[in-house]
Amino acid sequence: MKSDNLDITVCILSYNRPDYIVEALKSVCSQSIKPKEIRIYDNDSDDIVRNSIIKYLELGVKWIPAEFPSNNPRKNFRSAVKNISTKYVVMLHDDDKFCDDFLEIQVSFLEKNYEISAVSCNGYTVNKAGDRTGSLVLNKFNEFQMYHFKNSVEIAMVYASDSCIPFSPIVYRTEHLLKVDFREGYGKVCDAVLLCDLADFGNIALNGKPLYECRVHDNQDSTYFEPVLMQMLED
């Protein structure tokens, strides 16, 4: 176990999932190298959510309530981008989890590749109970390969080919993330548009190795993209 913390802030975007957020926090605290800071950006959840993680707050995890509460995860993301002082930042969704070596591998990659604005990774899919299903988020990607997307066209075409660049485990170079707007007018594909905009400052990378767990459950926002939104992205 290395003693030095990584120069990264882990933000967990939270809304009314007390059981899941406990698991997410455990996965962050179990990293082979710890982050410099852990923040919970909560979008006006019921009190049970904060109460479920009191012991983590007592250990230094920061709880940051929404400035303007609305059940909109994109606004929660935008709020989390503000006031980040570390070199890197990641915005983990509260229903996902990191594998133990996630931060060590991804931050080390960014440290060695200055031309990269952000790096994502493949992941294991898990069910509501947290058990792995045997499938990966991206079954078409080689787990021993690192993929590079050099411009917005290459990124958009990943989505147009019925695939994606997983958003929850993206580690961003903070100075680049602060230069782009989160364009909410694109609805569910604004995640992809953000990556397209980031590509103006550096390549977007994807580690084919599964380094996080993506929970598959009901009422997920990313399970369906309307054709008109996909057309906007392709345009």
Chain centroid to Cα 214, Å, comes to: 10
Phi, psi of 67 (to 5 degrees): -65, -45
Alpha-carbon span 54 to 70, nearest angstrom: 23
What's the pLDDT at 134? 95
Output the average pLDDT for the chain: 89
Q: What is the DSSP string of 150-171?
A: -SHHHHHHHHHTT----STTPE
What's the pLDDT at 81? 84
pTM above 0.95, yes or no: no
Residue 218's pLDDT band (cuts 50, 70, 90): low
Share of the chain above pLDDT 90, in %: 72
What's the pLDDT at 226? 62
What is the tens place of the pLDDT at every residue in 40-95? 999 989 999 999 999 999 999 999 998 766 666 666 777 788 889 999 999 999 99
Residue that the structure tokens 């609805």 belong to: 187
What's the pLDDT at 67? 76
Q: Does 147 score more than 60 pLDDT?
A: yes
User: Are the CB atoms for 184 and 77 separated by under 8 Å?
Assistant: no
Q: Does 229 score more than 80 pLDDT?
A: no
What's the pLDDT at 1? 35
What's the pLDDT at 234? 63
Q: β-pairing, 35-42 with 62-65? A: parallel
What's the pLDDT at 177? 94
Angle in degrees, 0-180, between the axes of helices 190-198 and 227-234, rounded to the nearest 10: 10
Share of the chain above pLDDT 70, in %: 87
